[in-house]
Amino acid sequence: MRVITGEARGKRLKTLEGLDVRPTTDKVKEAIFSIIQFDLPEARVLDLFAGSGQLGIEALSRGAKSAVFVDQLKSSVNIVRENVESCNFSERSRILCMSAADYLRSGAVCDIAFLDPPYSKGLISEVLPLLESKMSDRGIVVCEHEAGLKLPERVGKLKKKKEYGYGKNVALTTYYVNAEE
């Protein structure tokens, strides 16, 4: 796993090992960043369910102003910290060991949020209502989830913009604040 482009291009990132680990593939990561490429400069990014931190790190590498990484597993938080430090993004990063829901009850406003939780646990549906109040007026939410999961058309001020499929197992759903009807 590596940073695809930007100031940390080619940097190898560490990840946890095991059956529960499901890093975003380069193909899906490229798709995510082609969707949001023009919204990244100076964006405040939130990487919920951060895992290795690869999505937030890729955003920082491509010009995001700052990133908050949230994961409730101490082992994941340690990996995120190592990856952020190795890419020299510590000054633009905040790394927290807590649940996504707890963070969203108190966290700051962001412009772009990445949600890539463990599959089949209903976590996206749980956190979207909490997240929508934390999104700026230019906010974009990118949800990576199992294929076949149908997310709601609207969640407060968030409106589903598009769904994308990547093979038999992975899908992306994007939400935008103030999306045209």
Q: Cα–Cα distance between 48 and 101 in angstroms, integer? A: 9
User: Does pLDDT of 146 surpass 90?
Assistant: no
What is the DSSP track for 45-96?
EEEET-TT-HHHHHHHHTT-SEEEEEES-HHHHHHHHHHHHHTT-GGGEEEE
Binned at pLDDT 50, 70 and 90, residue 147 comes out as confident
Q: Is residue 6 part of a domain?
A: no
3 found inside a domain: no
* Residue 71 domain-assigned (yes or no): yes
- Residue 90 lies inside a defined structural domain of this protein: yes
Residue 158 belongs to some domain of the structure: yes
pLDDT for residue 120: 81
Asked if residue 172 is part of any domain, the answer here is yes
Amino acid symbol at 99: S
Whether residue 14 is contained in a domain is answered as no
Give pLDDT tens digits for 39-86: 999 999 999 999 999 999 999 999 999 999 999 999 999 999 999 999
- Which pTM does this prediction carry? 0.93
Q: What is the CATH number of the domain that holds 54?
A: 3.40.50.150
Q: Is there a domain that residue 79 lies in?
A: yes
Q: Comparing 7-21, 100-114, 130-144, 163-177, which segment has the lowest mean pLDDT?
A: 7-21
pLDDT at 19 > cutoff 50: no
Q: Containing domain of residue 143, as a range?
A: 26-177
Residue keyed to tokens 């920082």? 60
How many structural domains compose the chain? 1
pLDDT at residue 113 in the model: 96
